[in-house]
């Protein structure tokens, strides 16, 4: 299923790394207490927060490139 995130509602963006001891299973569109996760592989993620307070955490192997593209698109 395709998930659309409205980039006009995004208020902040940050890049971070998963904790070394955390268990990272592949998930897609997992909702848990206002946190929506997308993860396939890699050690880093980009976290987006929208106006409603939802947090989107998107894991990637090429997080630096993904972060730069999102930052340029959002102009934050």
Read off the pLDDT of residues 34-55 as tens digits, 9 standing for 90 and up.
788 887 677 889 999 999 988 9
Mean pLDDT across 18-26: 67
Model pLDDT, residue 23: 59
Model pLDDT, residue 39: 73
Token pair belonging to 19: 């904790």
- The number of beta carbons lying within 10 Å of the beta carbon of residue 8 is 7
In the numeric block, the tokens 């995130």 are attached to 5
For β-strands 44-50 and 55-60, DSSP reports them as: antiparallel
Q: Percent of the chain having pLDDT more than 90? A: 32
Counts of helices then strands in the chain (DSSP H, E):
1, 5
């Amino acid at each position: 299923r395709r998930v659309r995130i409205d980039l006009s509602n995004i208020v902040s963006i940050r890049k971070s790394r998963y904790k070394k001891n955390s268990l990272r299973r592949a998930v897609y569109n997992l909702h848990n207490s206002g946190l929506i996760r997308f993860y396939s592989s890699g050690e880093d993620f980009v976290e987006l927060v929208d106006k409603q307070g939802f947090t989107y955490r998107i894991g990637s192997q090429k997080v630096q490139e993904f972060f730069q593209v999102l930052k340029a698109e959002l102009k934050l």
